[in-house]
Structure 1
Amino acid sequence: MRESIIRTLALNAALGYSPTRVQLLLGLDVKDSSIPVDHKIVLSVLDELKQQNLVVEFHGRLALFDYQDQIEAGRLNELFFPRKLRRARWTAGYLSKLPWVRAVSLCNTTALGQARDGGDLDFLVIVKAGTIWRSRFFSALPFALLNARPAVFDKSNAKKDPVCLSFFVTDENLNLWDFSLPEDDPYLRHWFLSLMPLKDDGVMCHFWDQNHVLRQRHPLAKPWIALSGHDYSAGGKLKYSLQNSWLEGFLKRLQWKRFPKVIREMANQDTRVVINDRVLKFHVQDQREKFRQDYRLICQKYGVDP
């Protein structure tokens, strides 16, 4: 358990995040899934690590000793979370009214409650098969018109809490393992476990089951609970007035032409930018490899295998 705790805190340190005890347990990385895990034993070993000054705990947060400054930095960022969550819930409310959208989840540091003041609101959107292009078009349209999307290059005029709709998957393509880095992808594992579903019609249960490989190193992980279900009232969903297949093809061609050159060049070269009829993933500035290197260095520093 000692290595598992240090390994988990090393992953969080690489992210610049300090978890609570509950988050430590839910994200505990035992590496060998055959090892039985008891949360009481984990907490007992954690207390021993604190006595050895390898781990510190204050304000209800945990960190490796050399990364304890991240606790205070995270507390400062928590001040922005209520504002960001209100904005995120409003966004998810709009997206969930599109007839093709099945689930909307908040991602990354905002889902953890510690995003920077100027940080984006990143979303994962699950849509019905055969509708990904129309789903993205009508999802992004109002935010594009309001100039409320992230400024990739010039952030001088960027609005607060821009809405980043950079990851869409269809309900026939819920397994994310194909997008994982070779060998291991600690960031993707952590990203998956830390999702915050804001709207869900029930598909997130299948999403959890389909990604058992991503969570096999985390035996104490629990399925998410959405903050809100979909609105199935008479006026809850926009009517299916735009179902024709010609519309899907037309919006596919239109959006492809409007993609920035860098996205078209990077498309389907690796797992950073993936563009097809089942997945739209636009992570141009993908930092997973750097994160993995940082994580491995921290593990090495504390004498544990990543």
Structure 2
Amino acid sequence: MSSGLNNSVLKTLIYADIFGYPLKSNEVHRYLIKKKATLAAVAKSLTELTKEKIIVKSRDYYCLKGREKSVYFREKRKYCSGIKILKALKFCRLLFMLPFVKLIGITGTLSMENADDGDDIDVFIITSKNFIWTTRFFSVIFLKLFGLYRNPGTSDIRNKFCLNMFIDEGNLELINGEKDLFSAHEIAQMKPLFQRNNIYREFISINSWIKSFLPNFSPLYQFMDNNHKKLKGGVSDVNFLEVFFKTIQLTYMKRKITNEVIKDGYLRFHPLDLRPKILDEYYKKIKMLNIAKIPS
């Protein structure tokens, strides 16, 4: 077994450990970092690393040595996540009635069924061209009516919906500067709930760069709800109200904007960008564990 594959397997477990998330062998294969390999080869590598006591197997999960308790927490979070996913399905199905919404997916820890009871629900939305601000306006109003919108700065976020990212169908590719391991994982682990006209497949295809980080990744489509496969007559790109909705929302946000990304057809509303922190912790752990010296 090559040391390169062992290194990649260990790196994959290190990244998952940052989130307290032990992995099954098929998950290690799916999210294997920067190494193309078969499931059988990954399974053999996991066995070798376990025998060398570099990693630990607990039930069907693999984790770093000393992190066995994460198995218990993963199973506990899976139960909490199941309840949240049902809630997401219920209200996102209503949001999807907006004809200019092309896709709704859940991201973050919930997409991996790793959310705690007190966590929120991160939502990713793809819209028709020239409808991104219109979509956000009606989505926020809808969730506020049900008391489900996560307001910036609020401490009570349990089961609140965080509309953290909108892109339109003309801007499906992630912007330069955000194409890294963190974003590759966010895309790969996103659970698409509803889509129109196979936009999810197009989104994955345009962001094929994620394969440079996760070469074994292939989309999973069985979670999709395809009740709305085609829009009758489609939605026109002409939207005279888009500028109006953009203006009133930007005016309202003006004094609150921090690290948000606001570009034409691309909105990311996460004031606390975890990307630098996660990647920094990942590289520190790699250095600390001195992966290059693990047995081959």
- Whether TM exceeds 0.5 here: the answer is yes
1:9 to 13, 16, 20: 13
Letter paired with 2:215? P
Using the TM superposition, give the Cα deviation of residue 79 of structure 1 relative to its aligned residue in structure 2, in angstroms. 2.1
1:246 match: secondary structure: coil
Q: Equivalent residue for 1:249?
A: 243
The answer on whether the counterparts of 2:195 and 2:228 sit within 8 Å (CA) in structure 1 is no
1:178 match: secondary structure: coil
2:235 & 2:7 partners in 1: Cα distance?
55
Using the TM superposition, give the Cα deviation of residue 136 of structure 1 relative to its aligned residue in structure 2, in angstroms. 0.9
1:39 & 1:242 partners in 2: Cα distance?
45
Letter paired with 1:227? F
State yes or no: 1:77 paired with 2:77: yes
1:285 to 272, 276, 288: 272
Count of aligned pairs: 287
Using the TM superposition, give the Cα deviation of residue 244 of structure 1 relative to its aligned residue in structure 2, in angstroms. 5.9
TM-score where L is the length of structure 1: 0.86
In structure 1, list runs of 5 or more residues that go unmatched: 267-271
Letter paired with 2:217? A
Letter paired with 1:283? H
Q: Equivalent residue for 1:211?
A: 207
In structure 2, list runs of 5 or more residues that go unmatched: none
2:139 & 2:236 partners in 1: Cα distance?
14
TM-score where L is the length of structure 2: 0.89
1:257 & 1:128 partners in 2: Cα distance?
23
Deviations 1:235-294 (A, max 9, x none): x9899999863311111111112226231xx3xxxxx41113301111101111111111
Equivalent residue runs for 1:145-294 within 5 Å: 145-155=145-155, 158=156, 160-180=158-178, 185-201=180-196, 202-225=198-221, 227-232=223-228, 245-259=239-253, 261-263=255-257, 266=258, 272-294=259-281
1:169 match: secondary structure: strand
2:121 & 2:112 partners in 1: Cα distance?
12
Q: Equivalent residue for 1:304?
A: 291
The answer on whether the counterparts of 1:81 and 1:115 sit within 8 Å (CA) in structure 2 is yes
The answer on whether the counterparts of 2:14 and 2:285 sit within 8 Å (CA) in structure 1 is yes
Letter paired with 1:250? F
Bigger Cα displacement from structure 2, 124-133 vs 13-22: 13-22
Deviations 1:175-226 (A, max 9, x none): 1142516xxx322121111111111220111111111112223221111315
State yes or no: 1:28 paired with 2:32: yes
1:298 match: secondary structure: helix
Query: Over aligned residue pairs, what C-alpha RMSD do you find?
Result: 2.4
1:239 & 1:252 partners in 2: Cα distance?
26
1:219 & 1:130 partners in 2: Cα distance?
33
Q: Equivalent residue for 1:269?
A: none
1:218 & 1:242 partners in 2: Cα distance?
36
1:12 & 1:122 partners in 2: Cα distance?
19
Using the TM superposition, give the Cα deviation of residue 154 of structure 1 relative to its aligned residue in structure 2, in angstroms. 3.4
2:226 & 2:133 partners in 1: Cα distance?
21
2:59 & 2:125 partners in 1: Cα distance?
33
Identity of aligned residues (%): 22
Bigger Cα displacement from structure 2, 247-256 vs 70-79: 70-79
1:94 & 1:239 partners in 2: Cα distance?
20
Cα separation, partners in 2 of 1:134 and 1:239, compared to 1, 3 Å: farther
Bigger Cα displacement from structure 2, 164-173 vs 222-231: 222-231
The answer on whether the counterparts of 2:88 and 2:121 sit within 8 Å (CA) in structure 1 is yes
Using the TM superposition, give the Cα deviation of residue 76 of structure 1 relative to its aligned residue in structure 2, in angstroms. 1.9
Q: Equivalent residue for 1:49?
A: 49
